[in-house]
Amino acid sequence: MEFKCGYVTIIGNTNVGKSTLLNKIIGEKVAIISPKAQTSRDNTLGIYNDDNSQIIFIDTPGYHKLEHKLDSYMQENIDTAINGDVDVLLYVIDGKKPLVEQYEKLMNKGDKRSKKILVINKIDDTTFEKLYPQLNELNKVCKTDEILPISALTGKNVDVLIEMIKKYLPTYDYEMRYYPKEQFTDKNVRYLSAEIIREKILLLYNEEIPHGVAVQITQFDETSEIVKISADIYCEKESHKMIIIGKNGEAIKKLSTISRIAIEKMLDAKVYLDLFVKVKPNWRTDNLILEEFGYTNK
CB of 271 to Mg ion, least distance (A): 24
Closer Cβ to Mg ion, 121 or 259, answer by number? 121
Question: Binding partner of residue 121 among ligand GTP, Mg ion, none, CB under 5 to 8 Å per kind?
Answer: ligand GTP
Residue numbers of the site for ligand GTP (CB under 6 A)?
12, 14-20, 33-35, 37-40, 61-62, 121-122, 124-125, 151-153
Closer Cβ to Mg ion, 198 or 260, answer by number? 198
CB of 122 to ligand GTP, least distance (A): 4
What is d(CA 63, CA 255) in angstroms, rounded to the nearest whole number?
Answer: 28
Closer Cβ to Mg ion, 40 or 53, answer by number? 40
What is d(CA 288, CA 295) in angstroms, rounded to the nearest whole number?
Answer: 10
Question: Binding partner of residue 14 among ligand GTP, Mg ion, none, CB under 5 to 8 Å per kind?
Answer: ligand GTP
Question: Binding partner of residue 34 among Mg ion, ligand GTP, none, CB under 5 to 8 Å per kind?
Answer: ligand GTP
CB of 235 to ligand GTP, least distance (A): 19
Residue pair 57/215 in contact (Cβ under 8 Å)? The answer is no
CB of 94 to ligand GTP, least distance (A): 8
Residue numbers of the site for Mg ion (CB under 5 A)?
18-19, 39-40
Q: What are phi and psi of 239, to 5 degrees?
A: -65, -35
Nearest residue to ligand GTP by CB is 62
Question: Binding partner of residue 212 among ligand GTP, Mg ion, none, CB under 5 to 8 Å per kind?
Answer: none
Question: Binding partner of residue 148 among Mg ion, ligand GTP, none, CB under 5 to 8 Å per kind?
Answer: none
CB of 127 to ligand GTP, least distance (A): 13
Question: Binding partner of residue 122 among Mg ion, ligand GTP, none, CB under 5 to 8 Å per kind?
Answer: ligand GTP
